[in-house]
Structure 1
C-alpha cells in the first residue's frame, strides 16, 4: 500500500441520497432536486453544513475510505446529528451525537456511539461513549523499554466491549460535579505464542469502575471550540464488589484551552495526565498513541500505569468549508513518578485536513509522525 493510494481517504462520499423536503407554503419558487445519483450526492454534501432552524434533529450521513495504523485501509460510515433539548432557549448549548461503524482489510470491524446531551437550562449534562470492536492487534508488553523494541510484539485478536457514562449537575454556571461509570470487557484470542514474545495475562479482563469528577467548562461549542477552557478532574475506583478480579483505581486530570488568534485561526492546547494504583490489568493501563494523543504511534505500543501528555494544535480555516491543522505534542508512560525521565519522551507532530461536514462539525484527516512511526487518521469532530 503506497502513501499516494492513501490520498483517497480525503475523498468522502455520501451514503445517503439527497432527501427531498417539501418547501414552505409561502415559497414562490420551487427548487427541484438535481437528477442523477452523482448530482444528488454532490447536492447533499453541499448543504450538510447549513443550519436548519426548524428541525428538531438535524442529522446527516456520510461514509468513505479510512486508514489508521491499527486497522489499515477500510470503509466507514457515520451519522452526525445536532439537537436542542429546549428549542426556545437560544443560549442553550447544542447537544450532539455521532454513530459510526467501520470495517477494514485486516479483518477489523467495529461500531460505536459518542454523544453529549445538554438538558434544559443546562442543569444537567450526560456524556456517553460506547463501542464494540474486533481488532487484530499487537502487544509489546508493559513499559517504555518494551515498546521501544519496535519489532518485539505479539500478534493477537482483541475483542472489546466498552461503555462510559458521565452524568453531571450544574453547580454554578460553568462548574459541574458528577459521577462517572465505565465498564470494559476485553478478550484476547488467536495469540501468537512463539517463544520469546510478550504474552498478555490474563487473556480475558473485565473492569467496571465508578467515581466522582468535577468539570469547569467555558467552551463556546463542545464539538469544535473556538474559545474558552475545559478542565476535568476525575477519580474512578474498580472494587471487587463490582465484579473486578483485579482491584485498582485511576486518577486523571485534563486541561484544554482555546483562543482565536486571527480570522479563521484557533490555537488549541491539551494537557493530560493519569495515574493508576493497585493491580492494573494490561489492557486497562495508560496507552500512548492512537487517533487522539500522540498521533503517529501505534495505539498501545507504549503502555504503563501512568501517562502524561501535551499537545498544541493550530487550526486554520482556508476556503469555504476547508481547513488545515498542524500540531506538535509529547508524552511519557512510566510505572511511577520517581523513575520518570525526559529522555523517554515520545514526540508527535503532524498536519491535517478539515472539511466542515455540518455547521462547525468537521470531518478530519490527520497524518501523524513519531520518532520511528507514522500513520493516517480519519474521524469526526476535533481531537480535543
Structure 2
C-alpha cells in the first residue's frame, strides 16, 4: 500500500553508544575494542497536511553481524512508533542485514497501523477530497545473493491485509489481503551503502499477485529505479540523480495504487494524484559544509497513469525544495534530516532517515 507519511517540522535527536571489551588472553591486558553497535533514538514532533500533528520516536542501531567481516557494511535495525492528532497511528520494524562479506543481503519490514487519509474524486458535480480510513498489517521479507561482482539476484514475499472504510460511503467498505511474490535484480557499484559518493544502483522488482497464491484477482507490479552518484568539490559534495518507475499491470486495488509524493517527487502531501503507475526523474545536490552537517537542494518531475480522474493522467507534476542533514552516527556516514518541498498546488515537509535515494 502506498503510504503518504511526510513528517517533521521539528526534529530533536540525541545518540548514545557503548563500547565492548574483549579479553584475548588471560596473561595479557584487556584492550578496548572499537564498538560494534551504534545506538540512536530520535523523538520528533511534526505536522502533515493530511495527518495533522504527529509525534513519536524512532530508536535504531547499526552493527556488524560478524565482527571478523571487514567487507560487509554495517547492518541497520530500528523501530518506528507514530501517533497523529487525526487519530492515525503506525508501528513498524525495519531491518537491513549484510552477511558473509556482503555476498548476502536481507531485509525485513513489518508494520501495523490505522491511516486516516484522503483521496480526490471528480465523479460528481462538486469534485473534492473524501476521507478514508485503512487499517493495515504488512510484512515484507527479501533475500539477495551476489551472483558476480556487483550483480545480485533474489526473491521476496509480501503479505498485506487491508480494512478500508470511506467517508459518506462514497465507495463500499472493503476488507482484503494480498500475497505478493517478488523477483529482484540489483546492480550496485556504490562506494557506500548509506551515503554513496560515486557509482550506480539499478534495481528492478517484479511483484506478482496470482490467484493461486490466495489473491482475489491477478495483478502484477514492476518497480524500478536507477540512481547515479557523482563526487564533486574535491570529493566533499555529491550530485545524485534518479529515475523511478512504478508500473501496475492488471487489476490494481485502491490500496495498491501509487501516489505522487514521498521520495520520488517531494512536494505533494494531499494524496490528490493517485494512479496505477508512476514515472519520475529528479536530481539532488548534497552540500556538506561541516563534518557532521549539510544541506541539499533538489528538483524533479513526475507523471502518472491509470488515475480514477482521467484528466490527471500523463500530465507533468514538478517538485523542488531544500533540506538539512545531520550525521546521526559518529562512526558511520548516515544522515537524518528535514526536507521542505513545493509541488503543483501542494507542499510537503519530510523527515529523513537516510537520504531520499
Q: TM-score range by the shorter chain?
A: 0.7 to 0.9
Aligned to 1:79: 59
Q: Unaligned regions of 5+ residues in structure 1, if any?
A: 1-6, 26-51
Give me the whole-angstrom Cα distance separating, in 1, the residues matched to 2:144 and 2:22.
40
Which secondary structure does the structure 2 equivalent of 1:121 belong to? coil
Q: 1:366 to 1:150 in 2, by over 3 A?
A: farther
Taking the aligned partners of 2:178 and 2:215, their CA distance within structure 1 comes to: 6
Equivalent of 1:54 in 31, 34, 40: 34
TM-score if structure 1 supplies the norm length?
Answer: 0.80
The reply on whether 1:193 has 2:168 as its aligned counterpart is: yes
- Stretches of structure 2 that go unaligned for 5 or more consecutive residues are 1-6, 24-31
Indicate the SS of the match to 2:73. coil
Contact 1:57 1:81 in 2 (8 A): yes
Per the alignment, residue 247 of structure 2 pairs with 275
Structure 2 residue corresponding to 1:179, chosen from 152, 155, 169? 155
Kept after mapping to 2: 8 A contact 1:67/1:378: no
Mapping for residues 209-358 of structure 1, pairs under 5 Å: 209-263=180-234, 264-289=236-261, 291-298=262-269, 300-335=271-306, 344-358=315-329
Deviation at 1:22, TM superposition (A): 9.1
Structure 2 vs 1, CA of residues 209 and 201 (structure 1 numbering), >3 Å: closer, same or farther? farther
CA RMSD for the aligned pairs? Answer: 2.9
In the alignment, which residue of structure 2 is the partner of 1:367?
340
- Greater helix content: 1
Map of 1:12 onto structure 2: 12
Cα deviation, residue 112, structure 1 = 1.5
Does 1:112 pair with 2:92? yes
Alpha-carbon shift at residue 256 of structure 1 (Å)? 0.7
2: CA distance, partners of 1:171 / 1:321: 36
Give 1:159 shift: 1.4
- Superposed CA deviations along residues 230-252 of structure 1, whole A, max 9, x for unmatched, are 11122111011222112211122
Q: Is the 8 A contact 1:127 1:167 kept in 2?
A: yes
- 2:8–2:47: 8 Å Cα contact kept in structure 1? no
Aligned partners of 1:326 and 1:351 also within 8 Å: yes
Match of 1:70 in 2: 50
Describe the superposition over 1:265-297 as per-residue Cα deviations: whole angstroms up to 9, x where unpaired: 1111111112222111111022211x3122121
Does structure 2 conserve the Cα–Cα contact (< 8 Å) formed by 1:176 and 1:215? yes
CA spacing shift, 1:56–1:243, aligned 2, 3 Å: same
Aligned residues: 337
* Contact map agreement 1:296 1:367 (CA 8 A) in 2: yes
The structure where strand makes up a greater share of residues is 2
CA 1:139–1:54 in structure 2 vs 1: closer, same or farther (change >3 Å)? same
Q: Alignment partner of 1:166: what SS?
A: strand
**8 A Cα contact 1:217 1:230, kept in partner:** yes
Return closer, same or farther for 1:114/1:225 CA change in 2, 3 Å cut-off. farther
